[in-house]
Structure 1
Amino acid sequence: MSFTLFPGTRRGLACESLAGLSVGDALGAQHFVAPVDVAEPPDGPWPWTDDTEQACCLVATLGEGDFDRDGFAELLGRHHDPYRGYGPGAVVMLRQIREGLPWPIAAAAAFDGQGSAGNGAAMRAAPLGAWHADSLAHAAAQGARAAEVTHAHPDGIAGGVAVCVAAAVAAAGRLDGQRPRLLAAVTAHTPAGRVHDGLVEAAGLRDAGQAAHVLGNGTRAMAQDTVPFALWVADHFLDDYPGALAACIAAGGDVDTTCAIAGGVVAAYTGPDGIPPDWLAAREPLPSWV
């Protein structure tokens, strides 16, 4: 990649990805209230969920050097609101962290010592990838560091890595002025395992309905059945933010999370102009501390 990013530019890219992530999360969550038609979206405000809250903690942690996992864990423990839609396992873990249990112990103990293979690390990862638009290798490494705070299972970590790399690819394509081959780049930087296998399979699919059927739509809330589909959507609708969210909503399943992932990646490519202004206005304001 032939560009240099200064701190202000990095933060701008991350915040634009956060905007896409949070609008996707909030609109996707409305689908659980009543079916959403993106041509006539519901009136605001659209409350956001744990996807956005965790992404805000991530963005508030960003800085030079390696991702500050201790600082991120402290923010997650301090700010998490169980009523934002966190899963039971995440509520327990984050309460333990808030009460002083070191995050490596809390993450390793989850799910009877297996660690979480869920989609939580993936749903918050896009802004970190946009921050590292100048290096896919750094995006992958820092994506793993950020995922490990709550996800000790290889699949959970791989989901965070894949989304982080996808947003880096998307932001780099925007800066380079060239539409990237997103799925191919992400697959090359995602560790071997079920998420990687899903990305390989995704490359051969051409229809959104088929992609959701073959890859999963997040119904299990696992990285393996969420990330490949969400990134298939991002790849195929990279210059069409409303189209990306419409594809995720039509697929059903964990709609707020697939919309958050795809929305964060696509916004890294389109910039804020890709998000309809009335959608951004309808989204609940982000917390003041971010």
Structure 2
Amino acid sequence: MDRARLALVGLSVGDALGQTCFQGHNYEAILEDPRATARAPWPFTDDTAMAISIYDVLNEHGRIDQDALAQRFAARYKAQPWRGYGGGAHRLLSQVGSGFPWRAAAENVFPGGSFGNGSAMRIAPLAAYFAEDDYSVVAEQARLSAEVTHAHPEGIAGAIATAVAGACAWKNRSQCAEAATQRELFDAALAHTPAGQVRDGIERARTFSFDLMTEPVVRLLGRGAAVVPFDVSTELIVRLLGNGSHISCQDTVPFCLWVAATHLHDYQSAIVQTIRVRGDIDTNCAIVGGIVALAVGEQGIPNDWLAQREELVV
């Protein structure tokens, strides 16, 4: 549970700071000086609220009990529906809170089920809790957690990929600045993420990290393109990996894994880079913050950021 709390702290600070950056002036200020943040306290959003529910269920059951998790999600939503939940979450959690079976709700709220990035934004405490286990255990528990709200395979894949990446960050925390660790994060995620668009995007992110002008990237950018590593435009990042603008796992998880892997040793830089690309800023920062915190520890999170986030009660 200490690991799970660390992940929750990293996720919540990213979430809360990211939410302030939807205010234009704070977005610009953060990029110029990471210490120039919005006035405290920074309220967290549904990203953190749902992560707390996962934390609570793990604390009580030692695993993902899907019925218990559905009820936790619904109860926390009912208590604070203003946290920034999306339209689909409003409908689904209202139904579950009214006694409608969660599985039926998850299958019916969206045709074919949701592939929104909510399954990934909340997963860091689970990644941490099972980080000493085999990745297959992490993946299975992530699948169970995602199914409560996300019946679409891509929604489940996003949760699995993010959870495995977080577990990898913990396992390799002593060498998180090394390129081999960055590669392992991608390789572990790819080894356990089911085939589909999320996995394809992670493949692209891995290529983007280590060999920018391989054939998949050339096809996207054109034969005449030239890219200089470590000086990458935000436009290129969005074209290749997405930035969460579509609120989907396909458009969010590959980008977040790329930022986390390439800034695994530096929480502040990881969050600033995430903010720079805009998109679904609070959710992106929650995903990245949860992963990177498991590599750097709470001491790696800027003290002033931590102090300014709304207090967590868990």
Q: What TM-score do you get using the length of structure 1 for normalisation?
A: 0.92
Among candidates 40, 44, 48, match of residue 52 of structure 1: 48
Q: For residue 218 of structure 1, what is the amino acid of its counterpart?
A: G
Measure how far apart 1:65 and its partner are: 5.1
Among candidates 5, 17, 21, match of residue 11 of structure 2: 21
Percent pairwise identity: 47
What are the within-5 Å matches in structure 2 for residues 23-42 of structure 1? 23-34=13-24, 35-36=26-27, 37=30, 38-42=34-38
Among candidates 271, 287, 290, match of residue 264 of structure 1: 290
Partner of 2:115: 117
Contact 1:17–1:130 (8 Å) recurs in 2? yes
What are the within-5 Å matches in structure 2 for residues 268-287 of structure 1? 268-286=294-312
Q: What TM-score do you get using the length of structure 2 for normalisation?
A: 0.85
Measure how far apart 1:215 and its partner are: 1.0
Measure how far apart 1:43 and its partner are: 2.3
Q: For residue 28 of structure 1, what is the amino acid of its counterpart?
A: G
Task: Give distance in 1, aligned partners of 2:63 and 2:277.
Answer: 36
Q: Say whether 1:72 aligns with 2:72.
A: no
Q: For residue 123 of structure 2, what is the amino acid of its counterpart?
A: A
Q: Say whether 1:185 aligns with 2:226.
A: no
Greater Cα shift, 256-265 or 55-64: 55-64
Highest CA radius of gyration, 1 or 2?
2
Contact 2:57–2:63 (8 Å) recurs in 1? no
Task: Give distance in 1, aligned partners of 2:18 and 2:238.
Answer: 16
What are the within-5 Å matches in structure 2 for residues 119-138 of structure 1? 119-134=117-132, 135-138=134-137
Partner of 2:255: 229
Task: Give distance in 2, aligned partners of 1:67 and 1:54.
Answer: 13
Contact 1:208–1:233 (8 Å) recurs in 2? no
Measure how far apart 1:172 and its partner are: 1.1
Unaligned runs of 5+ in 1: 1-10
Measure how far apart 1:212 and its partner are: 2.8
Q: For residue 27 of structure 1, what is the amino acid of its counterpart?
A: L
Task: Give distance in 2, aligned partners of 1:103 and 1:208.
Answer: 42
Query: What is the root-mean-square deviation of aligned Cα atoms in Å?
Result: 1.3
Aligned residues: 275
